[in-house]
Structure 1
Amino acid sequence: MKVKVQTLDAKGKGDIDLNDEIFGVEPRADILHRVVTWQLEKRRATARGARERGDVARTGKKFGRQKGGGTARHGNRRAPNFIGGGKAHGPRVRDFNPSLNKKIRVLGLRMALSSKAKAGQLIVMDNLTVKDAKTKVLKNDLAKLGFGRTTLVIDGDAVDTSFALASGNLFDINVLPAIGANVYDILKHDTLVLTRAAVEKLEARFNG
């Protein structure tokens, strides 16, 4: 698959051949759904469980007479209505650590990249260098390129410093290094932008 390479000032920089085994896979909704569900479950933190009546160590001895004391007829200090007693209906420890085969995870990422390429929402950039790292300069450049409402930009080993600084105040632009490419972020954004370095890193990641 051949894609035109652009620069931030909307000039052509030739073409790049994208590996069809990575960017030309037919997307499947069930695979993408499984990977996104796994990813969102994986990032949930496990809540600390509260101690309930059976978990606290307090006396069960009846501490007053049944009648004539002028108070309620309590018999257990572990009850939730006493200070130091167990929590009634407290949070339980829940396992948010689902498993998903690596083969499915890799396939999901291939399909996410392919879905953007198939929909014409994939743009390949030569580099991300912004003059003086100015947000105003970057906004003018992005207006010429015609990105979607939200854009995910993926660079090589690390995101270009000037682009990261310039895009820091743009809420509709998110940036990631190639190692952080994931299905959820790719599908969530309207446009996917890859640099040449990102394409090389992704292809090496799959071929490795």
Structure 2
Amino acid sequence: MKIKVQTLDAQGNGDIELNDAVFAVEPRADILHRVVTWQLEKRRETARGTRERADVARTGKKFGRQKGGGTARHGDRRAPVFIGGGKAHGARVRDFNPSLNKKIRALGLKMALSSHAKAGSLIVMDSLTIADSKTKTLLGNMEQLNFGKKTLVIDGDAVDNSFALAAGNLHTVNVLPAQGANVYDILKSDTLVLTRAAVEKLEARFNG
């Protein structure tokens, strides 16, 4: 698959050949759903378990005699009604780390990339260097390139510093290095922007 390489001033800079095994995979909703669900579950942190009645280190001696004391018939000081007692119905530790086969994860990422290529919302940039790191300059460039409402920009090993500074004030632009490319962020964006370096890194990631 060939795609035109753009520059930030909307000028063409040749073509790039995209690997069909990465950018021309037919998307499947069930695979993408499994990967997104797995990714969101991995983000969740388990609650710290609270100490319940059996976990509190207090005496188990009966608080007082059963009858005649003029007070309630408590068994011990570990009851939830006492300060320092165990928590009643407290938070339990839960496992939010489901497993997913590496092949399915890789296939999901290929399908997410391919979905943008198929829809025509994939843009390949020659570089991301912004003069003086100005947000105003970047906004003008984005308007020329017809970026969507939500844009994900993926660079090579590290994001160009001038672009990262210029995009820092734009909540509609998300910037990631190639290593951070993931299915959820790609599908959530209206426009996917890759640099030449990002294309090389992603293709090497699957071929390696």
Residue matched to 2:48: 48
Q: 2:91 is paired with a residue of what secondary structure?
A: coil
Unaligned runs of 5+ in 1: none
- What whole-Å deviation, never above 9, does each CA across 1:107-146 have from its counterpart, x for those lacking one? 0000000011111111111100101111111111111111
TM-score by length of 2: 0.97
Q: 1:94 is paired with a residue of what secondary structure?
A: coil
Tell me, in whole angstroms, the C-alpha distance in 1 between the residues paired with 2:67 and 2:55: 30
Unaligned runs of 5+ in 2: none
Structure 1 residue 11 displacement after superposition: 0.6
Root-mean-square deviation over aligned CA pairs: 0.9
The within-5 A match list for 1:76-155 is 76-155=76-155
Residue matched to 1:36: 36
Structure 1 residue 66 displacement after superposition: 2.5
Tell me, in whole angstroms, the C-alpha distance in 2 between the residues paired with 1:154 and 1:138: 16
Tell me, in whole angstroms, the C-alpha distance in 1 between the residues paired with 2:3 and 2:32: 24
Q: 1:203 is paired with a residue of what secondary structure?
A: helix
Tell me, in whole angstroms, the C-alpha distance in 2 between the residues paired with 1:61 and 1:49: 26
Tell me, in whole angstroms, the C-alpha distance in 1 between the residues paired with 2:5 and 2:52: 61
Structure 1 residue 151 displacement after superposition: 0.2
- Aligned residues between the structures: 208
Q: 1:4 is paired with a residue of what secondary structure?
A: strand
Tell me, in whole angstroms, the C-alpha distance in 2 between the residues paired with 1:29 and 1:166: 35
Tell me, in whole angstroms, the C-alpha distance in 2 between the residues paired with 1:97 and 1:206: 24
Structure 1 residue 19 displacement after superposition: 0.5
Q: 2:55 is paired with a residue of what secondary structure?
A: coil
Q: Which amino acid aligns with 2:6?
A: Q
Structure 1 residue 63 displacement after superposition: 2.1
Identity of aligned residues (%): 82
Which stretch shows the higher mean deviation, 75-84 or 101-110?
A: 75-84
TM-score by length of 1: 0.97
